[in-house]
């Protein structure tokens, strides 16, 4: 079953990319493109990590730790950039900037201390991942709160940004406790519980694929027959 | 299945992890569902408002078209029933046989025809004045309203007075005409339905707001009546007032005086937008 999940995770990794290429015309937005760069980067990262963990590679764990830490940092900044361009309120944008600077500094210091000060190199840096998850979840909530405050004529689930944000939220909230407790778990437990991560990655990839499939966000308008359909569907 | 394989010494960590993850996912999904439903509710509310506004606009437009048609019919009737017969009579006096008649009869016929043509000119002038009052065009809203009130007062059936407290800066001429038409419509309603013994109009400015207030002691309507009539198919004149005010981006309030003796109608306009 573990292998089965692993294969599905790898396959769904390509799903958003394929949908993006298939629907290139509808994905010209800069903030949306950042997500596709992230997907390409995570696929490359997976490849590199697979090589480093294989029997072919004979080196130490240092490079693996650097690559994993870099992925955490870059993943954060990809999502932070997306959220920054999706947020409307200037104060929220400023808060995200400050949060990102603090995260950047703390994660670099943490990586340095992991590589140079700690007796044993930890490949998976729990602290950095947890800070990243909390910050991104908070700003995803801020994004959704902004959407609630600014009522638009147009369903929220018809927007690309919504699907991306809920993809990010589900991924980070689902893996939050796993990443937080990861260093406390035995190797066997880490292996068993890692299925949560795969499950969340699958959900995230599906949501990103939906986002890339949707038409471009260009107006607040609704289709001509939307009100008619709405009234027909909602009788409560 | 996988979660059951954990060691006993790490049981607490596993439980926290398992339930923490479930809890976080449940919270996130709950929040997302809440947002979707909340937004649907907001959209539904907005659509209802839009639909109501659309229906209101449709009603106002219909009222305005009907009123325009009525006005056209009135002008057509005036021209057909009054000017037409007058000109036909004048033509009879000036027919071809006139040259064969004696000089006295000729002069009499020409005199009669001249009289009829003068009457026709007066009639056409009256029609023209009813379409665009010359006093309003030349001297502004204050003079036109004064003129109108003097005419009503001189009829003797009702005491009408008006006072403009601060009208140094005139509204745009198009807007003056709209305000004048609203006042005319209100006066018309008071004369027709209220059975009042007096009407008093005052004009005032307060900051950026321009106010016209009318008092009368007859039977009037309140804001609730006005809104009800606006939504129903009745009250063509009121709908016309509403549509005219929409052009000026103004508001109207119907209320009963605190003493319960008088009815008040207040028209409120933004000066900056209408000057």
With CB atoms and an 8 Å threshold, state whether A166 touches B44.
no
With CB atoms and an 8 Å threshold, state whether A144 touches B10.
no
- For B88, other C-beta atoms within 10 Å of its C-beta total 10
Residue predicted with more confidence, B20 or B7: B20
SS3 A200: helix
By DSSP bridging, strand B159-164 and strand B209-216 are unpaired
With CB atoms and an 8 Å threshold, state whether B14 touches A189.
yes
Q: Which residues of chain B lie closer than 8 angstroms to A154, CB-CB?
A: 43
- How many CB pairs (< 8 A) connect A and B? 93
A214-236 core/surface letters (b: 16 or more CB in 10 A; e: else)? beebeeeebeeebbeeeeeeeee
CA distance, residue B131 to nearest chain A CA (Å): 41
Q: Which residues of chain B lie closer than 8 angstroms to A126, CB-CB?
A: none
**How much is the ipTM here?**
0.81
Taking 60 as the threshold, does the pLDDT of residue B6 lie above it? no
Average pLDDT of the residues of chain B: 84
Residue predicted with more confidence, A59 or B42: B42
Residues 20-79, chain B, touching A (beta carbon < 8 A): 20-21, 24-25, 27-29, 31-32, 35-36, 38-40, 42-44, 46-47, 50-51
With CB atoms and an 8 Å threshold, state whether B31 touches A185.
no
pLDDT recorded at residue B76: 86
With CB atoms and an 8 Å threshold, state whether A189 touches B16.
no
SS3 B160: strand
With CB atoms and an 8 Å threshold, state whether B7 touches A156.
no
Hey, is the C-beta of B12 within 8 angstroms of any chain A C-beta? no
Sheet strand arrangement including B251-256? B159-164, B198-206, B209-216, B263-270, B251-256
Of B6, B21, B28, the CB nearest to A192: B6
pLDDT recorded at residue A49: 86
CA distance, residue B52 to nearest chain A CA (Å): 13
Mean pLDDT of B24-37: 92
Q: Find, among B127, B118, B120, B126, the residue nearest to B86 by Cα.
A: B120
Hey, is the C-beta of B8 within 8 angstroms of any chain A C-beta? no
Of A174, A189, A227, the CB nearest to B47: A227
Q: Which residues of chain B lie closer than 8 angstroms to A170, CB-CB?
A: 25, 28-29
Hey, is the C-beta of A141 within 8 angstroms of any chain B C-beta? yes
Q: For residues A168 and A37, what is the distance between their CA atoms, to the nearest angstrom?
A: 15
Could you report the per-residue pLDDT of A163-175, keeping only the tens digit for each? 999 999 999 999 9
Taking 80 as the threshold, does the pLDDT of residue A152 lie above it? no
Q: Which residues of chain B lie closer than 8 angstroms to A144, CB-CB?
A: 31-32, 35
With CB atoms and an 8 Å threshold, state whether A156 touches B6.
no
Q: Which helix (H) or strand (E) holds B208?
A: none
- CATH number (3.40.50, 1.10.3470, 1.20.1070, 3.10.50) of A2-233 reads 1.20.1070
Hey, is the C-beta of A90 within 8 angstroms of any chain B C-beta? no
Among the residue ranges B27-36, B109-118, B266-275, the one predicted with the least confidence is B266-275
With CB atoms and an 8 Å threshold, state whether B14 touches A185.
yes
Residue from B16, B43, B45, B53 whose CB has the most chain A CBs within 10 Å, to mutate: B43
pLDDT recorded at residue B26: 94
Q: For residues A175 and B43, what is the distance between their CA atoms, to the nearest angstrom?
A: 33
Q: Apex CA A166: angle with CA A12 and CA A136, to 5°? A: 105
Taking 60 as the threshold, does the pLDDT of residue B126 lie above it? yes
With CB atoms and an 8 Å threshold, state whether A151 touches B42.
yes
Asked if A143 contacts A165 with a C-beta cutoff of 8 angstroms, the reply is yes
Taking 50 as the threshold, does the pLDDT of residue A224 lie above it? no
Of A148, A178, A196, the CB nearest to B35: A148
Question: Where in chain A are the domains?
Answer: 2-233
Confidence of residue A73 (pLDDT cuts 50, 70, 90): very high
CA distance, residue A59 to nearest chain B CA (Å): 31
Confidence of residue A126 (pLDDT cuts 50, 70, 90): confident
Confidence of residue A153 (pLDDT cuts 50, 70, 90): low
Taking 80 as the threshold, does the pLDDT of residue A68 lie above it? yes
Could you report the per-residue pLDDT of B226-243, keeping only the tens digit for each? 888 877 777 778 888 888
With CB atoms and an 8 Å threshold, state whether A185 touches B38.
no
Q: For residues A138 and A45, what is the distance between their CA atoms, to the nearest angstrom?
A: 26
Q: Which residues of chain A lie closer than 8 angstroms to B6, CB-CB?
A: 186, 188-189, 192
């Amino acid at each position: 079953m573990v292998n089965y999940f692993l294969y599905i995770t790898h396959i769904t990794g390509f799903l958003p990319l394929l949908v993006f290429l298939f629907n290139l015309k509808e994905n010209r937005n800069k903030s949306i493109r950042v997500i596709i760069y992230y997907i390409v980067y995570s696929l490359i990262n997976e490849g590199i990590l697979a090589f480093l963990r294989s029997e072919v590679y004979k080196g130490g764990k240092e490079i693996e730790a650097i690559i994993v830490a870099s992925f955490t940092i870059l993943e954060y900044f990809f999502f932070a950039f997306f959220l920054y361009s999706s947020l409307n309120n200037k104060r929220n944008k400023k808060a995200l900037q400050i949060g990102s600077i603090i995260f950047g500094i703390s994660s670099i210091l943490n990586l340095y201390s992991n590589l140079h000060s700690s007796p044993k190199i930890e490949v998976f840096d729990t602290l950095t991942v947890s800070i990243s998850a909390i910050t991104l979840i908070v700003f995803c909530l801020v994004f959704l709160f902004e959407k609630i405050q600014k009522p638009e004529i147009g369903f929220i689930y018809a927007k690309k940004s919504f699907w991306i944000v809920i993809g990010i939220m589900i991924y980070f909230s689902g893996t939050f406790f796993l990443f937080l407790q990861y260093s406390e778990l035995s190797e066997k437990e880490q292996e068993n519980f890692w299925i949560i991560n795969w499950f969340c990655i699958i959900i995230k990839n599906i949501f990103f694929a939906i986002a890339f499939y949707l038409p471009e966000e260009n107006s607040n308008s609704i289709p001509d027959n939307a009100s008619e359909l709405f009234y027909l569907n909602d009788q409560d | 299945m996988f979660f059951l394989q954990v060691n006993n010494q790490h049981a607490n960590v596993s439980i926290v992890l398992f339930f923490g993850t479930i809890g976080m996912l449940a919270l996130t999904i709950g929040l997302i569902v809440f947002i979707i439903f909340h937004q649907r509710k907001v959209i539904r509310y907005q659509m209802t408002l839009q639909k109501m506004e659309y229906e209101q606009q449709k009603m106002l437009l219909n009222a305005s078209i009907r009123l325009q048609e009525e006005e056209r019919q009135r002008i057509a009737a005036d021209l057909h029933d009054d000017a037409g017969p007058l000109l036909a009579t004048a033509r009879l006096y000036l027919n071809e046989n006139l040259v064969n008649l004696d000089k006295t009869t000729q002069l009499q016929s020409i005199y009669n025809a001249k009289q009829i043509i003068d009457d026709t000119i007066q009639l056409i002038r009256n029609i023209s004045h009813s379409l665009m009052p010359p006093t309003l065009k030349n001297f502004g809203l204050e003079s036109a309203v004064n003129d109108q009130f003097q005419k009503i007062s001189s009829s003797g059936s009702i005491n009408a007075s008006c006072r403009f407290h601060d009208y140094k800066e005139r509204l745009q001429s198009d807007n003056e005409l709209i305000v004048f038409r609203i006042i005319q419509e209100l006066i018309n309603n008071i004369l027709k339905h209220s059975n009042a013994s007096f009407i008093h109009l005052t004009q005032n400015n307060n900051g950026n707001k321009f106010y016209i207030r009318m008092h009368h002691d007859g039977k009037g309507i309140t804001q609730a009546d006005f809104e009800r009539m606006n939504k129903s198919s009745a009250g063509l004149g009121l709908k016309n007032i509403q549509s005219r005010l929409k052009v000026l981006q103004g508001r109207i309030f119907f209320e009963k005086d605190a003493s319960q003796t008088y009815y008040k109608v207040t028209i409120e306009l933004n000066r900056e937008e209408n000057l």
